[in-house]
Every structure is written in structure tokens, then in C-alpha cells.
């Protein structure tokens, strides 16, 4: 079995092995994946974090030994001005990028990552709504990007996934998959900070997700990461007053 690690801040994962193919997700610096198939300039990978599959450019990855992927000493970047040294050059990682081995050096194939200059790195082993709100607010005004999982550009489910992993909760990749996790909250008025709200389209398919800040506000990635109003029917854009998303279900994941 061959494993690889990402050696750029955010590597696109595409539906097909071509630069013209749509981006469906991303790997962040130091994240690992299993190689499924190899072509000339692309490899098909399965992300170890969430099992997502797609094609990634070979030059943005490095092959690693299986022992390296078993690191358990990991935190995540929580400040936008973090900097990682890779072979004495600077890489400016996204929020929620893994930081291994208490900030020491990590050998990824022929590359050496040094985390000593990463100022903000955190991980929590229990859920706390106030922490969720703070982590989510760090992404405010990040542009929406289909398939994005980084603070350079992020989609709705990438946003929730990245926030929750810092509190040791692994969410699946897509909104409809995340909707299968956790327990149902019966009424909007019962929702608390950190609950996930899911929204469907006219065909009844879940296509959007956001994080409840309280029973009346939600933070989500729509155009950009923003805070909007909520009622029993769904999201109301605070800038335009228009209803943008129809509420389907609220889930509590702990």
C-alpha cells in the first residue's frame, strides 16, 4: 500500500485526473492519503481524514512511509498568520492544518516540516459551544469555493468539517453525509451553539449546512463565510432580507 502527504498549503482534489476537471475537495499541508491509481501527472487518492476520493497532482504530494501516518500527537492551526518551514522555505497554511509532534520537525518523504514558528495551534478532546463559535468566527469573510476546505476558499461542508475537527469530531465531507451523523434536535428554539442546521433544495436533497450560533443566528459559507438570521423556515440574508435556504433538519453532534 502506498501513502502520500500534501506538501502545499491546499492541494486541489479533482473529479478526474485533469486540471480542467472540477475540484471536489482539497488536501491541506501534511494531510495523508492512500494511493488508489496512478496516471502520468495525477494520482487517485483516498483521503485518510474523511475517506473522500479524487485525483490530485503528483507534484503537490510526496510519498511517505506507513509509519508516518500513525502520528497521534496532532493539533491544528487556529491563527491565519501561522507559518510552517519546509526545507527552510516558508509555507503559510490554512486554518485547521495539522501540526504534528508538538511542533517539532516531521519528515515527509524527502521534505522536512518544522512547526516551531506556528503561534496558534489547538485541539480539544471535548465539545464546547463557545470554542466552536470562536473557531468558526476565524473563518469569517473567507470566500466560498466549491470543493474548498481551507481558509483561502471553502464550501459549506468543508467549513463545518474544518471547525469540528479541532474539537476532535470527524465530520464526513459532504452536507448530505454530515446530515446522517448525530442526533435530531426537535425544534429550532431548542438549538444551541454548535448544532448543525441542514437545508434542502426543491427536490428534497440536502445541499447546504451551517453552524448554529444560537436559536436565531447561523454561521455558514454562502458567497463567503457569514452570519445570517434563522427562523423556522430557514436562513434570511442579513444584507438583503431575502430568504436563501430552506431548513430541513437540525442535528447535534458530540
Give the CATH number of the domain where residue 68 resides. 2.30.30.40
Say whether both 143 and 180 belong to one domain.
Answer: yes
Say whether both 42 and 115 belong to one domain.
Answer: yes
Cβ–Cβ under 8 Å, residues 155 and 146: yes
Q: What is the largest CA-CA distance in the chain?
A: 54
Question: What is the pTM for the complete model shown?
Answer: 0.95
- Domain for residue 127, yes or no? no
- Domain for residue 132, yes or no? no
Which residue, 61, 94, 121, sits at the end of a domain? 121
DSSP 221-246: EESEEEEEEEETTEEE-TTT--EEEE
Check residue 183 and give its pLDDT: 97
Check residue 116 and give its pLDDT: 86
Say whether both 7 and 116 belong to one domain.
Answer: yes
- Domain for residue 96, yes or no? yes
Cβ–Cβ under 8 Å, residues 182 and 254: yes
| Residue 35 DSSP SS3 | strand
Cβ–Cβ under 8 Å, residues 156 and 210: yes
Say whether both 169 and 103 belong to one domain.
Answer: no
Check residue 64 and give its pLDDT: 94
Whole-angstrom distance, CA of residue 67 vs CA of residue 52: 21
Which residue, 96, 121, 146, sits at the end of a domain? 121
Q: Domain range holding 166? A: 138-252
Whole-angstrom distance, CA of residue 80 vs CA of residue 94: 7
Output 39-42 pairs: Cβ under 8 A, ≥24 positions apart: 41/17, 42/14, 42/17, 42/18
Whole-angstrom distance, CA of residue 222 vs CA of residue 205: 17
Say whether both 94 and 177 belong to one domain.
Answer: no
Q: What is the pLDDT of residues 60-69, one digit of tens each?
A: 999 999 888 8
Check residue 253 and give its pLDDT: 94
The pair phi, psi for residue 128, each rounded to 5°, is -145, 120
Burial class (CB in 10 A: 0-12, 13-18, 19+), 186: exposed
- Domain for residue 133, yes or no? no
Domain count for the chain, please give it: 2
Q: What is the pLDDT of residues 104-154, one digit of tens each?
A: 788 888 999 999 888 888 989 888 999 999 999 999 999 999 999 999 999
Amino acid at each position: 500500500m502506498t501513502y502520500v502527504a500534501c506538501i502545499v498549503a491546499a492541494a486541489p482534489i479533482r473529479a478526474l485526473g485533469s486540471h480542467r476537471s472540477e475540484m471536489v475537495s482539497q488536501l491541506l499541508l501534511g494531510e495523508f492519503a492512500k494511493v488508489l491509481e496512478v496516471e502520468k501527472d495525477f494520482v487517485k487518492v483516498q483521503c485518510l481524514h474523511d475517506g473522500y476520493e479524487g485525483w490530485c497532482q503528483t507534484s503537490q504530494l510526496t510519498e511517505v512511509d506507513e509509519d508516518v501516518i500513525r502520528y497521534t500527537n496532532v493539533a491544528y492551526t487556529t491563527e491565519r498568520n501561522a507559518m510552517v518551514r519546509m526545507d527552510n522555505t516558508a509555507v503559510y497554511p490554512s486554518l485547521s492544518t495539522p501540526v504534528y509532534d508538538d511542533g517539532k520537525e516531521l519528515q515527509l518523504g524527502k521534505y522536512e516540516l518544522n512547526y516551531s514558528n506556528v503561534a496558534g495551534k489547538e485541539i480539544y478532546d471535548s465539545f464546547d459551544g463557545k470554542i466552536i463559535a470562536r473557531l468558526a468566527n476565524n473563518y469569517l469573510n473567507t470566500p466560498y469555493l466549491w470543493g474548498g476546505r481551507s481558509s483561502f476558499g471553502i464550501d459549506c461542508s468543508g467549513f463545518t468539517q474544518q471547525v469540528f475537527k479541532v474539537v476532535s469530531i470527524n465530520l464526513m465531507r459532504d452536507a448530505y453525509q454530515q446530515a446522517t451523523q448525530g442526533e435530531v434536535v426537535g425544534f429550532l428554539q431548542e438549538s444551541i451553539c454548535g448544532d448543525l442546521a441542514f437545508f434542502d433544495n426543491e427536490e428534497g436533497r440536502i445541499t447546504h449546512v451551517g453552524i448554529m450560533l444560537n436559536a436565531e443566528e447561523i454561521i455558514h459559507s454562502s458567497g463567503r463565510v457569514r452570519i445570517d438570521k434563522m427562523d423556522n423556515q430557514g436562513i434570511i440574508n442579513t444584507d438583503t432580507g431575502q430568504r436563501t435556504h430552506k431548513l430541513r433538519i437540525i442535528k447535534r453532534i458530540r
